[in-house]
Amino acid sequence: MSARDVIVVGAGPAGAASAILLAERGWSVTLLDKAAFPRPKICGEYLSPESARILDRLGVLKAIDEAGAQPLRGMKIVAPDGTVIMGSYPTTGPWPSHRDHALAIVRERLDQILVDRARSLPVDVRERHRVTGLLREGSNVKGVQAQDAEGRALELRARLVIGADGRASAVAAALGLLRPHRLRRMALIQHVAGLDGFDERGEIFVDPPDYAILNPVAPGLVNLGLVVPLAHARPFAGRLETFFHARLRQLPRLSARLEGMKPVGALQAMGPLAYRVKEPRAGGVMLAGDATGFYDPFTGEGIFTALRSAELLAEVAHAAIERGTLEASALRPYAEARREHFRGKARLTRALQFVIARRRLANAAAHALLRRPALLDLLMGVLGDFVPPAALFSKGFR
Amino acid sequence: MERAHDAVEMLDRPAPFADLSQNLDDIARFNAFFGGARLTMRHVKRLVADLPRDRRVTVLDVGTGGGDIPRALVRWARRAGRSIRIFALDRDGETLRAAALRMAGYPEVTLVRGDALALPVRPCSVDVAISALVLHHLPPAEAAVSLAEMDRAARRGLVANDLFRSRLAHAVVWLTTRLLARNRMSRHDGPMSVRRAYTLGEVESLARRADLADVRVHRHAWALRLCAVRTTTQHSPRRSSTQPSPQGFALQLELPRLRDQLSPRLASARRRPSPRTAGSVSARTSRP
Ligand SMILES: Cc1cc2nc3c(=O)[nH]c(=O)nc-3n(C[C@H](O)[C@H](O)[C@H](O)COP(=O)(O)OP(=O)(O)OC[C@H]3O[C@@H](n4cnc5c(N)ncnc54)[C@H](O)[C@@H]3O)c2cc1C
């Protein structure tokens, strides 16, 4: 049996980034994914400006730009009453953004580039390997049980197992950590052609209880995402396409904007979107990305969070492997770092969620942001992940 | 989240009149946005639903601030074709002065100066006693007293509406005050008041402390509010043995009328009113 240091389960952004960062530090890494890349992933396909910093560090930013990623210099937000706000990503205060724009890119391409980068390092990348359970010794995880492409069961051992296997994470499930969330919404995502006039901006239509996002992901191709209460979609379970198009017509500002649109490819749907995952108590295992929980795609930080959590994870994992102690206590600094880095933003997104679910409040917020451009810039900076949320929280700002 | 019991809101301290006034407007707007006022109204309507329709409804609003809830209640009564009389009480003279400026066209509302801990009224002198955003200003012992006082004043029930403490409430109030509040006092006090607010369980124990075991605490997550409601029925006899006042529905004041108190000299004298003394004079509000 090989003396493998790390098994990473899932080769999406969180898993690929973890594998890259640990392999770069000299550890032997096996990266498993049940799918073969490129594989589809339901997503709004928006990357915040600060994501570019991490993608650069991972050595893939150039490839992403060359693959046709579309720069977005900001967001256009349309309030329920039609008020339009133009947000950009300027440098605000002492927090420079890595780039003055966000990116939109088709997920198949982004994820493929990340996996290719992992493959260019000494990483043992194995596609079509589905993890089915964990190997344990006492309170520590010692490896995984998996099924290869031919359906053969195999056991792989490692000092550290990283669960980066997304929503419905097999690793989190084996540890009994998955929990439902009270917020029950569904997303419907459709690529469309025939729309233009984007002017390097994504567009968000807030129309409680729904919202929709238009994201120009490639020349002539737009990612159209619609989020609705799960209960509204459920009666249409077998006919989501019908529901989707009827719903689009019901949103007055959006339907006007969608004049002339032509669907490209299949409609993708997912719900409920939100769920929680508790912190692992076992040693020898860490979680990253969507495997740590998901709230809502409104503020588009899923990929950034996946990449950033891989960065934080790599720090702690590296130190722990080097010291040779992978007990739960040695891995705890990771949970603390995640809490410290993500808590402020998580609160902001929950608060925003509250605002956009209420028509009057959403309108009032839009009017307020129009009146206060400095506050809008700051908010865009926080949403772009380059301004710390504490800057908004601080008392001094007016 | 721990309750920030020793925190101070700017509203608790003397503030320039313009600031105070703007802050009261902000509070009224937030009440409207989040439906805080509507919640109180909903409970009040229920409590007076089986009163004869030609009978005047009387309400005491404890800690009225800018008086937005009394005004909303008056508008409801007018729409519903009911007669209403509201006594809006606050302990702060400046606040009452600001409220008075907003009461033009609302003769149904009488402003009264007094303390939530020692309501200047006889037992059972109004149908319903309400308070909104008051509990969190008071430490537990006093908050319990204020509930007991409201219960003493009201024949049909009480409704104490307040924020509840939670991380989400804090984030939402913080964000919305940042976005929407016009004034720095609101931006400071909004999030602070969530940190000082009680949780559902804490309000339940306040009610027990006030000897009001049958208070029901409703959680209105949608509005970030809780409402502690006591419905007085034959089956829940009043603790107080006093019978409804024979004078009918007029409020029995034990303090001089407000108009006399709005003189600048008195208004600037900020004090914590002392508990009622046995010998205080009883005066009737006799405005029609
Ligand atoms: C509707 C919607 C819209 C979104 N829009 C955006 C957006 O615009 N911007 C943004 O940044 N984020 C968005 N997100 C969030 C974003 O998609 C995720 O946060 C991100 O993909 C998380 O990356 P990950 O690597 O953790 O998981 P994933 O990308 O899901 O990768 C997990 C990988 O694990 C593999 N896997 C799963 N189970 C197993 C198993 N048992 N064995 C082996 N492999 C396994 C899967 O095949 C997959 O490749 C959106 C999410 C949704 C649902």
Q: Which tens digits make up the pLDDT trace of A37-77?
A: 999 999 999 999 999 999 999 999 999 999 999 999 999 99
Query: Are B168 and A369 within 8 A, CB to CB?
Result: no
Task: Give the mean pLDDT of A103-124.
Answer: 97
What is the nearest CA distance from A113 to chain B, expressed in angstroms?
37
Average pLDDT over residues A324-340: 96
Shortest Cα distance from B15 to chain A (angstroms)?
18
Instruction: Kindly state if the Cβ of A165 falls inside 6 Å of ligand 1.
Output: yes
Spatial distance between the Cα atoms of B268 and B260, rounded to a whole number of angstroms: 13
A202 lines ligand 1 (CB under 6 A): no
Q: Are B33 and B226 in contact (CB under 8 A)?
A: no
The ipTM assigned to this model is 0.77
* Whole-number pLDDT of residue B256: 39
The reply to whether residue B179 touches residue A398, judged by beta carbons under 8 angstroms, is no
- Please report residues of B whose CB lies closer than 8 A to that of A369: 179
- Stronger pLDDT, A99 or A153, i.e. the higher one: A153
Q: A71: which strand partners?
A: A103
- Assess whether the C-beta atom of A46 lies below 6 angstroms from ligand 1: yes
Confidence bin at A2 (pLDDT 50/70/90): low
Give exposure, B67-103, as e/b (b: 16+ Cβ within 10 Å).
Answer: bbbbbbbbebbeeeebebbbbbbbbbbbbbbbbbebb
B67 φ, ψ (degrees, to nearest 5): 80, 25
Residue B277 confidence (pLDDT): 34
> Does residue B168 belong to the interface with chain A, where contact is any CB pair within 8 Å?
yes
Averaged pLDDT score across all residues of chain B = 83
Q: How far is A371 from chain B (nearest CA, A)?
A: 10
- Residue A3 predicted with pLDDT over 80: no
What pLDDT, in 10s, does the model give residues A233-266?
Answer: 999 989 999 999 999 999 999 999 999 999 999 9
Give yes or no for B238 touching A (CB within 8 A).
no
Spacing, Cα A8 to ligand 1 middle (Å): 14
Largest Cα span, chain A? 65
Residue A278 clears pLDDT 70, i.e. is over it:
yes
- DSSP characters over chain B: ----TT---GGGS---HHHHHHHHHHHHHHHHHHTHHHHHHHHHHHHHTTS-TTSPEEEEEES-TT-HHHHHHHHHHHHHT--EEEEEEES-HHHHHHHHHT-TT-TTEEEEE-BTTB-SS-TT-EEEEEEES-GGGS-HHHHHHHHHHHHHHEEEEEEEEEE---HHHHHHHHHHHHHH-SSHHHHHHHHHHHHHPPPHHHHHHHHHHTT-TT-EEEEEGGGTEEEEEEE--TTS--SS-PPPPTTTT--EESS--HHHH-SHHHHH----PPPPPTTPPPEE----
The answer, yes or no, to whether any atom of ligand 1 lies below 6 A from the CB of A273, is yes
Q: Is A385 in the pocket of ligand 1 (CB under 6 A)?
A: no
Q: Which residues of B touch A358 (CB under 8 A)?
A: 33
Select from B29, B33, B171 the Cβ nearest to the Cβ of A351: B171
Q: Is B173 within 8 Å of B145 (Cβ atoms)?
A: no
% of chain A beyond a pLDDT of 90:
91
pLDDT digit string, tens, across residues A372-398? 998 899 999 999 999 998 887 664 443
The CA distance from B18 to B98, in Å, is 9
Beta-bridge mates of residue A30:
A7, A124
Q: Chain centroid to CA A380: how far? A: 18
Residue ranges in chain B modelled with pLDDT below 70: 233-288
Query: Distance, CA A167 to ligand 1 centroid (Å)?
Result: 7
To the nearest whole Å, the CA of B171 is away from the closest chain A CA by 5
Q: List, as ranges, residues 77-136 from B with C-beta within 8 Å of A.
A: none
For tokens 């989707």, name the residue. Answer: A244
Single pTM value for the model? 0.84
**Rounded average pLDDT over A291-303:** 95
| Residue nearest atom 15 in ligand 1 by C-alpha distance | A302
Which of A41, A51, A130, A312 maximizes ligand 1 atoms within 8 Å of its Cβ, making it the mutation to test the pocket? A41
Question: Which of the two residues, A329 and B265, has the higher pLDDT score?
Answer: A329
Span from the CA of A356 to the centroid of ligand 1 (angstroms):
24
Ligand 1 proximity of A303 Cβ (cutoff 6 Å): yes
Å from CA of A384 to ligand 1 middle: 19
Q: What is the pLDDT of residue B178?
A: 86
The CA–CA distances, whole Å, from B47 to A142, A193, A372, B159, B283 equal 63, 57, 43, 9, 28
Which residues are A264's β-sheet partners? Answer: A191
**Per-residue three-class SS string for chain A:** CCCCCEEEECCCHHHHHHHHHHHHCCCCEEEECCCCCCCCCCCCCEECCCHHHHHHHCCCHHHHHHCCCEEECEEEEECCCCCEEEEECCCECCECCCCCCEEECCHHHHHHHHHHHHHHCCEEEECCCEEEEEEEECCEEEEEEEECCCCCEEEEECCEEEECCCCCCHHHHHCCCEEECCCCEEEEEEEEECCCCCCCEEEEEEECCEEEEEEEEECCEEEEEEEEEHHHHHHHHHHHHHHHHHHHHHCHHHHHHCCCCEEEEEEEEECCCCEEECCCCCECEEECHHHHEECCCCCCCHHHHHHHHHHHHHHHHHHHHHHCCCCHHHHHHHHHHHHHHHHHHHHHHHHHHHHHCCHHHHHHHHHHHHHCHHHHHHHHHHHCCCCCHHHHHCCCCC
Is beta strand A102-104 parallel, antiparallel or unpaired with respect to A70-72?
antiparallel
CA distance A377 to chain B (A): 12
Give B-chain residues touching A364 at CB under 8 angstroms.
29, 33, 179-180
Kindly state whether B182 is in contact with chain A, defined as any CB-CB distance less than 8 angstroms: no
Which atom in ligand 1 lies closest to the alpha carbon of residue A129?
43
Whether residue A352 and residue B175 make contact (CB cut-off 8 A), yes or no, is: yes
